């Protein structure tokens, strides 16, 4: 049987209604990604047949998708801060709430001329690349170091810096947190792993993403506590530390800061849903 864009979407949309809130759009995205033609093209060419090999691939993708495999890994793309990022199962799929880290860092860095930024646990590179992009258009001479302990993530982040034309602004380093870092920075940003290992069963949709990007000890706080213990050794005077954390972790983090650190200038920022999400510490 031969299919056009429209009747393939009509035929397959119900297959995804259990898993997706936008089943028709997901089928469209799969077709567009595999044929490398966008929606506008198919609106202008409504009778064009989708090649049989692609129809077969789409059927296979739909089967994987029904098991919860993320659409972003199938089409190898996720939009973040208005830019396109290549993603595969070696990196976390960037989340919209992480854009807050970029907003906050940019507010802090904007009036400054010559700045240095360290992005710890860069993954797809979404934070470092978006900041480099913003600072490039401001004409700033920023120096960004992006690190990850995963070599595969570093390769992907470097690829995303190249496709988004900010390769020369970012240096990528494979490092276990601060292990290979020898300098101080004006701004340190991190979206570290923060899901509780004990919550693994609670979030079955996360099984396709890398465990090292998600889980951090039974309480989700092992990595955040490590960063809090060490960050002041890598920040310049008047520097800024920004760190994302889990939806229910503000209380434990505040307790740790009060009991185990000397930080006094800190605040917690809420995401658009009103949930505390980002820790901001001024030095």
Is residue 220 within the footprint of ligand SAM (CB under 6 A)?
no
Is residue 142 within the footprint of ligand SAM (CB under 6 A)?
no
E-assigned strand segments in 81-203: 83-85, 116-120, 143-148, 170-174, 185-190
Which residue of 27, 28, 109, 121 would you call a contact of ligand SAM, by CB under 6 A?
A: 121
Contact 268, 250 (CB under 8 A): yes
Which residue of 127, 132, 181, 187 would you call a contact of ligand SAM, by CB under 6 A?
A: 127
Could you give phi then psi for residue 151, rounded to 5 degrees?
Answer: -65, -40
What's the min distance (Å) between Cβ of 86 and ligand SAM?
Answer: 13
> Two tokens at 6?
């429209």
Binding span for ligand SAM by CB under 6 A among 18-26, 180-188, 190-198, 232-240: 190-198
Which residue of 28, 116, 124, 130 would you call a contact of ligand SAM, by CB under 6 A?
A: 124
Residues 6+ apart with CB under 8 A from 250: 268, 276
Query: DSSP alpha helices (H): ranges in the chain?
Result: 5-12, 23-35, 39-44, 52-66, 71-75, 99-109, 126-137, 151-163, 211-214, 222-230, 250-260
Residue found under tokens 């290979």: 180
Is residue 242 within the footprint of ligand SAM (CB under 6 A)?
no
Return the number of the residue (126 or 161) whose C-beta is nearest ligand SAM.
126
Is residue 123 within the footprint of ligand SAM (CB under 6 A)?
yes
Which residue of 21, 47, 176, 182 would you call a contact of ligand SAM, by CB under 6 A?
A: 176
The contact pattern for ligand SAM, residues 87-116, with x = CB under 6 A and - = no contact, is ----xx-x---x------------------
Is residue 149 within the footprint of ligand SAM (CB under 6 A)?
yes
**What is the C-alpha separation between 236 and 108, in angstroms, rounded?**
14
What residues are paired with 101 via a beta bridge?
none
Return the number of the residue (135 or 224) whose C-beta is nearest ligand SAM.
224
Is residue 228 within the footprint of ligand SAM (CB under 6 A)?
no
Is residue 148 within the footprint of ligand SAM (CB under 6 A)?
yes
Could you give phi then psi for residue 261, rounded to 5 degrees?
Answer: -130, 175
Which residue of 28, 150, 160, 169 would you call a contact of ligand SAM, by CB under 6 A?
A: 150
Residues 6+ apart with CB under 8 A from 43: none
Instruction: Note the residues at the interface with ligand SAM (CB under 6 A).
Output: 91-92, 94, 98, 121-124, 126-127, 147-150, 153, 176-177, 191-193, 212-213
């Amino acid at each position: 049987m031969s299919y056009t864009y429209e009747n393939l979407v009509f035929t397959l949309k119900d297959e995804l209604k259990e898993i997706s809130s936008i089943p028709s759009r997901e089928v469209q995205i799969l077709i567009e990604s595999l044929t490398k033609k966008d929606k506008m093209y198919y609106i202008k060419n409504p009778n064009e047949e989708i090649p049989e090999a692609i129809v077969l691939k789409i059927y296979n993708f739909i089967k994987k998708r029904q098991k919860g495999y993320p659409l972003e890994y199938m089409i190898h793309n996720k939009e973040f801060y208005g830019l396109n990022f290549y993603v595969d199962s070696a990196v976390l799929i960037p989340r919209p709430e992480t854009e807050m880290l970029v907003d906050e860092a940019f507010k802090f860095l904007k009036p400054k001329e010559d700045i240095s930024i360290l992005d710890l646990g860069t993954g797809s590179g979404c934070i470092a690349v978006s900041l480099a992009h913003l600072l490039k258009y401001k004409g700033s001479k920023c120096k960004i170091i992006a690190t990850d302990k995963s070599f595969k993530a570093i390769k992907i982040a470097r690829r995303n810096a190249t496709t988004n034309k900010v390769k020369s602004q970012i240096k990528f380093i494979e490092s276990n947190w601060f292990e290979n870092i020898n300098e101080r920075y004006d701004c340190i940003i991190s979206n570290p792993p923060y899901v509780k290992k004990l919550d693994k069963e609670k979030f079955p949709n996360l099984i396709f993403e890398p465990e090292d990007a998600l889980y951090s000890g039974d309480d989700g706080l092992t990595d955040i506590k490590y960063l809090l213990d060490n960050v002041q050794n890598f920040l310049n005077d008047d520097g800024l530390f920004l760190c994302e954390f889990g939806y229910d972790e503000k209380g434990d983090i505040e307790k740790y800061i009060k009991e185990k650190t000397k930080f006094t200038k800190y605040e917690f920022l809420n995401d658009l849903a009103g949930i505390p999400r980002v820790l901001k510490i001024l030095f």
